Chains A and B, each alone.
Chain A
């Protein structure tokens, strides 16, 4: 019975944690989670401040931010959502900028399958083509535009399967359940799949640019570490990482 004394101590211990240096809570779109972790590690080394990264779909993160999630920085997968947050007064005005430009690829783990210009789309000898849900994901919207420009959006309707986000779309293809799919260049670069399968780097002229915008949220206003991290995203170290992961940068 005397052990009962320890229960409050235990609960207290579980509910609190000691913050060493300054912490920044970052919400990041799932496609940028891996490079962000790398950037966060460099950031910690250079400044001593910790960036705590939470990743998820842009729409879900928006809903969480709107409902009081403790994020200070938001790295979106699009430009519309940060603009919306700004309009709703949930962010610091004027803090918005494009941190990366997504590149879309049509990818298959099968070597020599996709064709240098994505010829496979017209040949159509596949059962499933995976794209991210165009309603939810900017990469899905871009994929739809490409398919429409190629004149195959209608004929391929019955073979499309939709990932909730670009991560799930990649999973459908890498597990072999869909023969091919439109994914982010950063994803196949990450698992070095670009060296094994075949892919077509879709020319940026076939779809509107996938601008990914960052924004300082209202909760991060005046917080040095948060402002530091936003600036750090534009540093040479960070942009090198961003480029290495297969993203473009704004001019």
Chain B
């Protein structure tokens, strides 16, 4: 019992979950931008019949309870699941209970928050700037990187902020596939849940209050930016 009490005293100053959460959110956001940008571009441009089903799939995490996602991730990434079998044959082991597993879960969970703003920004461009660029003999890659991406900058900024913030605020998925390992999968939201369950309300207040402030500042930045671009915009 003595060792448990010492542990909870230490936890009062335990910033590990905070750093871990920031690391997770940063990694997740980078992957989301890498995956989300081409996906958003395709969704914005295509006239394929696949556009609607793919768009619906991307939006699924908006309506699904995170526990559904967490449950299926635990099953499919586990040693008996199809993805788990794949990662094991590749010699990677299984993903639940690892930081990499949390990144996979978070990427899926925050996908619509990144894809949709970028897709909207690409759609708002219309075809004209790209046609003009093409008459100036800009190739497809050039058109994309020197015309589409700079013009869609507000969309990218919104996507980055939302993807990051949404990952920080994630709970259900990490709870179900994380295993609550200090330094690897015990993120902020799980640490707060633990403190409340353990009736350590003081520690819970510090972390929860910090989250409250963080969320407000993020949204303040987001809306502030939205206002400014509206005024400056064409």
Contacts and interface: CB of A to CB of B under 8 A. Distances in A.
Contacts of A161: 97, 179-181
Contacts of B97: 128, 161, 177-178
Nearest to B177: A177
Given A134-B4, A171-B74, A172-B179, A177 B94 contact: yes
A136 interface: yes
B193 interface: yes
A176 to B, nearest CB: 5
Interface size class of B (residues with CB under 8 A): 20 to 34
Contacts of B93: 127
A237 to B, nearest CB: 33
Interface string A126-139: 01101001111000
Contacts of A60: 196-197
B75 interface: yes
B198 A136 contact: yes
Contacts of A177: 74, 77-79, 94, 96-97, 179
A164 interface: yes
A59 B78 contact: no
Interface residues of A, number: 24
Contact of B4 (A127, A135, A171): A135
A145 B78 CA distance: 28
B194 interface: yes
B175 interface: yes
Interface in B49-79: 74-75, 77-79
A28 to B, nearest CB: 16
Nearest to B200: A135
Interface string B165-198: 0000000000110011100000000000110111
Contacts of A136: 194, 197-198
Contacts, number: 63
Contact of B80 (A62, A128, A160, A176): A176
B78 A135 contact: no
A177 B95 CA distance: 9
Nearest to B94: A177
Interface in A40-63: 57, 59-60, 62-63
Contacts of A133: 180, 194, 197
A139 B26 CA distance: 36
Given A128-B97, A177-B94, A177-B97, A59 B198 contact: yes
A164 B193 contact: yes
A175 interface: yes
B193 A63 contact: no
A58 to B, nearest CB: 8
A175 B75 contact: yes
Interface string A148-187: 0000000000001111100010011001111000000000
B8 A135 contact: yes
B179 A135 contact: no
Nearest to A141: B4
Contacts of B7: 135
Interface of B: 4, 7-8, 74-75, 77-80, 93-94, 96-97, 175-176, 179-181, 193-194, 196-199
Given A59-B196, A176-B80, A177-B94, 4 more contacts: A130-B179, A171-B74, A175-B78, A175-B80
The 10 closest A-B pairs by CB, nearest first: A161-B179, A59-B197, A162-B180, A177-B78, A177-B96, A176-B79, A136-B197, A176-B80, A175-B78, A176-B78
